[in-house]
Chain A
Amino acid sequence: MPPRVAVIVFPGTNSEDETVDACRDAGMDARLFWWSEDASLLRRFDAFVLAGGFAHEDRVRAGAIAAKSSAVSVIREEAARGKLVLGICNGAQVLAESGMLGDIAIARNLPAGHFQCRYVDVCADSDSQRCAFTRGLPAGSVFRMALAHGEGRFCGDGSTFDELEAARRIVFRYVGEAPNGAMHRAAGICSEDGNVLGLMPHPERTAWAFNNLWDGQRFRGGDPNRTVGAHAIFSCMAGALERSRGSAG
């Protein structure tokens, strides 16, 4: 039986369908879980993905309201027990607001000060073993992903980022200058245990041949629905879930 993954939908989430598809194409049994469902049912799942969008219309701050929800409270408890949690874009903002990524915040883009929407290249840290979502990736793998946010700047005080560096918790970095002004060019930061990842660019928006639009090769040969590039993150997640089942069994 494939691992069960809940893709959380808050009012304003807008990337849930492609996130479910990306999980399913990696062999996971993913389904949507609505914020209004009984949060205790989340305990039945093996992993969670907080999809991108604008949960609660980004009111007060991006992710601030969703972070107070009962669903996120349960996810926090399950993460403490070692379950995997992936937050993509707005999902990463929810994770940061909930404290699951430590003493960091995700703030307004600087110096642009406005919404950024473009493709970016993101490089995985050379220590791929550090995080469940990078384990198995070749060292220094570079993926093109879609970036679409107005508040995507990982920030915190300098000593916190020194600690993140020492602990190898910045598992994805922008290649070149960070388009949102993120400290240490951080694009993805994992929790201390490596089972929670907050990732600002969207891997699910460049996970198949048909939505890799930049190379002009998308329909030339092969199946346009084949998974490519950034889909590897979902494959790593599926692999980690299989391994954890194996070790538990």
Chain B
Amino acid sequence: MSALAPLRYELEVAVRLSIPDNTAFTALTALRLLGYPELERVQRETIYSLQLIDSGRPAEEIVAALTRAEVLFNPNKHELSYRLLNAPGGAPVVRERSALRPSSEARTQPEYEAVVSDNGDDCSRLVALLKDHFGIRELRSLSRATAWTLCESGACASAERLGWACAQLLCNSHSQRVLIRQAPRRSAVGEPPPPAANESR
């Protein structure tokens, strides 16, 4: 491996509906009926993990290109937030732009989230689309998942409760896998970013 090989880093993008999420509401109703009557709220986000090479282009421009592409994200109904892992130059500064809608809602960060992904998922067509048609030439690979958070009694549900909900409904162990983790801090586009997480996943 050459010492001059471009650095790689990961951009994790979370997309959630800003309009009512019927699927989350259905999950809420179903989980209550399955034996979790204390459950008050279910939140769902689609997580895209983009593996990028460092071309020198600031990450904020890549996020802006993603929002303009409207492939992963529809500004009419979605909010997008992101974070960087193993960022080459530390946290980027994201400037507010008129084309990008800032999150108006102060988000309370849940304590845990269950990240459910399909075994053997293939996003190569999505990668080709974003690279070839929308100019995100730094993109090398992409994976997607759904992050679920549960709230009860005004607080976030425990990891055990999330595990139960996944076993009951949110994850099919024959075709999916789940990672229950502490929910990371992500920045909404237009908000000051959190410090870059230099962690390995």
- State A56–B26 Cα separation when bound (angstroms): 9
Whether, in the assembled complex, A65 has its beta carbon less than 8 Å from a beta carbon of chain B, the answer is yes
Taking the nearest CB of chain A, how far is it from the CB of B185, in angstroms?
26
Question: Which residues of chain B come closer than 8 Å to A156, judged between CB atoms?
Answer: 174-175
Indicate if A104 sits at the interface (CB-CB under 8 A). Answer: yes
With a CB–CB cut-off of 8 A, which chain A residues contact B118?
107-108
**A interface secondary structure, majority:** loop
Beta-carbon contacts under 8 Å, A131-166 to B:
155-157
Q: Does A59 contact B (CB under 8 A)?
A: yes
Segment from B3-11, B27-35, B91-99 that makes contact with A: B27-35
Contacts A59-B26, A60-B170, A65-B30 given; indicate if A107 touches B122 (C-beta within 8 A). no
Number of A residues, CB within 8 Å of B? 21
Question: Restricting to A96-121, which residues have a CB under 8 Å from any CB of B?
Answer: 97, 103-108, 110-111, 113
Report Cα–Cα, A68/B31, bound state, in Å.
Answer: 10
Report, as a range, how many residues of chain B touch the other chain: 20 to 34
Residue A57 at the chain B interface, CB threshold 8 Å = yes
Contact, CB under 8 Å: A59 / B23: yes
Bound Cα distance A61, B178 (Å) = 14
The interface residues of chain B lying within 8 Å CB-to-CB of A110 are 120-122
> From residue 141 to 196 of chain A, which have CB atoms closer than 8 A to chain B?
155-157
CB-nearest residue of chain B relative to A64? B169
Whose C-beta in chain A lies nearest to the C-beta of B175? A105
Residue B22 at the chain A interface, CB threshold 8 Å: yes
| B residues in contact with A64, CB < 8 Å | 169, 172
- C-alpha spacing A60/B26, complex, angstroms: 8
Would A113 and B122 count as touching, CB distance under 8 A?
yes
CA distance A107 to B124 in the complex (A): 17
Note all chain A residues with C-beta closer than 8 A to B170: 60
**Residues of chain B at the chain A interface (Cβ within 8 Å):** 22-23, 26-27, 30, 33-34, 118-126, 169-170, 172, 174-176
Closest 7 CB pairs of A and B: A105-B175, A105-B174, A107-B175, A59-B23, A59-B26, A105-B172, A111-B122
Since A57-B22, A155-B175 are in contact, a sample of 7 more A-B pairs with Cβ atoms closer than 8 Å, ordered by chain A residue number, is A59-B22, A59-B27, A60-B27, A60-B170, A64-B169, A110-B122, A113-B126
